[in-house]
């Protein structure tokens, strides 16, 4: 069996990358014209992309897939975005994706974002295999992988604390409250202190107030599912009958009404 090698991009790869793009996109969305000059403009001239974040997969010297991942800071967090991702088969796509996530971890990224055509089942299957969760938008399928749940929760709290607050919200924040949250193997306490919400990391605890999976955490806090629906469909566990009301209030405070960090790229 011929070995597939995943390596860093070189300038000599551009023409083969363009061919991979045209072949794959012709299958899934129809022909999209792409020239080496346009690829250079969209990728190499992109302010968030460097050459060390572009990887290609090759067999016997032939490029059969590539992935482009860029780094940027956003809302107090380190974010990586996969701007382009094309592969001829699932094994190639998985090898590229694993290398991109490794690159993100090497640069202490908190979460990884990507966009792809809804009909690209090869890439979509690999993303889900690495615990990416879907976030639907009209023309694209967007996925986010959770690398650090605590960092994302802290970012949401920072955004909330910086937001202007009306009188009713200020009144709600006057009363000290706390919720012990468990997301996968991550534990944290959300506290109201001096009119602000504070996140405190915790070790493993048994007295958890709110428990959810990473995927459900993303769906709830990024406004894809309401807290109430999540509760009744058992996507979250809330312990304590009298906890329900203020847990819902807490989630409502931090829940984003739009995905603030999802960059849209003109070529998708």
Please tell me the pTM assigned to this model.
0.63
**What would the mean pLDDT of 149-161 be, rounded to a whole number?**
81
What pLDDT is attached to residue 7? Answer: 96
* Tens of pLDDT, residues 116-154: 676 778 887 887 777 676 655 444 455 566 567 787 788
Q: Report strand pairing: 210-212 vs 236-238.
A: antiparallel
* pLDDT given for residue 267 in this prediction: 29
215 has a pLDDT exceeding 80: no
* Stronger pLDDT, 6 or 142, i.e. the higher one: 6
Distance CA 168, CA 126 (A): 45
215 torsion bin: left (phi>0), alpha (psi -120 to 50), beta (else): alpha
Strand partners, 200: 189
Give the pLDDT score at 69.
Answer: 92
Name the band, by pLDDT with cuts 50, 70 and 90, for residue 67.
very high
24 has pLDDT over 50: yes
Specify the pLDDT at position 264. Answer: 32
Which carries the bigger pLDDT value, residue 217 or residue 61? 61
SS3 content of the chain, % helix, strand, coil (to 5): 40, 30, 30
């Amino acid at each position: 069996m011929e070995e597939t090698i995943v390596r860093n991009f070189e300038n000599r790869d551009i023409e083969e990358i363009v061919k991979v793009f045209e072949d794959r996109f012709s299958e899934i969305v129809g022909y999209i014209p792409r020239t080496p000059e346009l690829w250079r403009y969209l990728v190499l001239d992109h302010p968030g992309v460097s050459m060390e974040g572009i990887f290609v997969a090759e067999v016997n010297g032939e490029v059969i897939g590539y992935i482009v991942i860029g780094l940027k800071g956003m809302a107090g967090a380190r974010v990586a975005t996969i701007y382009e991702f094309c592969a001829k088969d699932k094994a190639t796509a998985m090898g590229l994706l694993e290398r991109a996530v490794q690159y993100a971890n090497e640069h202490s990224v908190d979460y990884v974002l990507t966009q792809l055509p809804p009909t690209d089942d090869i890439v979509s299957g690999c993303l889900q295999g690495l615990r990416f969760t879907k976030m639907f938008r009209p023309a694209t399928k967007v996925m986010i992988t959770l690398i650090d749940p605590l960092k994302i929760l802290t970012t949401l709290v920072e955004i909330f604390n910086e937001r202007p607050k009306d009188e009713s919200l200020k009144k709600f924040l006057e009363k000290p409250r706390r919720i012990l949250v468990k997301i996968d193997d991550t534990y944290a306490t959300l506290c109201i202190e001096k009119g602000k919400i504070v996140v405190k990391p915790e070790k493993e605890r048994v007295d958890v107030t709110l428990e959810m999976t990473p995927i459900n955490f993303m769906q709830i806090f990024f406004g894809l599912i309401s807290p109430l629906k999540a509760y009744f469909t058992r996507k979250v566990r809330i312990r304590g009958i009298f906890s329900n009301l203020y847990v819902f209030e807490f989630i409502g405070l931090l829940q984003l009404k739009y995905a603030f960090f999802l960059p849209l790229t003109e070529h998708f």
